[in-house]
Amino acid sequence: MLEIIMLIIVIITILLLIIVINNNKFQFSIIKIDKAEEDISIYLDKKKELLNRARPIILKELKLDTFLENLDDNLDEMNNFQEYELLKNDYNKFFKTLDENEKLLKSENLLSILEDLNDNEEDIVGAIKFYNDTVVEFNKLLVSFPSNIIGFFKRYKRKDFYNDEKREIFEILNDR
């Protein structure tokens, strides 16, 4: 009788340990994802601010009426994914304009902004890589046993990636 009670206590202890470990994995992933989202948001705000600083210089030099009009949209109402795509398009448009108009590269102010934009872009790429890598970990927890049971009871949902390449890789690995 005592042996059965001890066996039950050991089994319950092991199950509780498994639950705690897997719950901690989820919590750690969520903390890392939140941190990455916060960093991405900061870098996107800086990118918008730098593009806004460059816009009047380009408008003046090229005598344009409008340039990068999307920056006037209220980006605060967008999520990071939408803001990232919009700013990525404006960033590409900005560099296309620079390539087509070499005289713009003579502006010291614009060159300074350009350098800051390049540094900021490296920060964004790093933060997105960290986010995507962490989302892979989180999504793996949602589909692997026994952590998927905890994910089910906590009602965790799969997280989206910043680019389709990571999503495709995850889907391929998930199908195995």
Domain annotation covers residue 6: no
Name which residue leads in pLDDT, 150 or 62.
150
Domain annotation covers residue 85: yes
pLDDT for residue 132: 93
Residue 141's closest CA among 170, 115, 119?
A: 170
- Other CB atoms closer than 10 Å to residue 98's CB: what's the count? 15
Domain annotation covers residue 16: no
pLDDT of 15 over the 70 cut? yes
Domain annotation covers residue 17: no
**pLDDT band with cut points at 50, 70 and 90 for residue 17:** very high
Domain annotation covers residue 132: yes
Cβ–Cβ under 8 Å, residues 66 and 79: no
Domain annotation covers residue 142: yes
**pLDDT single digits (tens) 93-140:** 888 888 888 777 777 888 888 899 999 999 999 999 999 999 999 999
Domain annotation covers residue 137: yes
- Give residue for tokens 């092991």: 14
pLDDT for residue 68: 76
Domain annotation covers residue 11: no
pLDDT for residue 75: 64
Cα angle at 76 between 70 and 82, to 5 degrees?
60
**Which residue range(s) make up the domain with 64?**
29-175
**pLDDT single digits (tens) 43-99:** 999 999 999 888 888 888 877 777 777 777 666 677 888 889 888 888 888 888 888
Determine the Cα–Cα distance for residues 121 and 46; give it in Å rounded to an integer.
Answer: 10
pLDDT for residue 18: 92
- Give the global pTM: 0.80
Domain count for the chain: 1
Determine the Cα–Cα distance for residues 47 and 137; give it in Å rounded to an integer.
Answer: 28
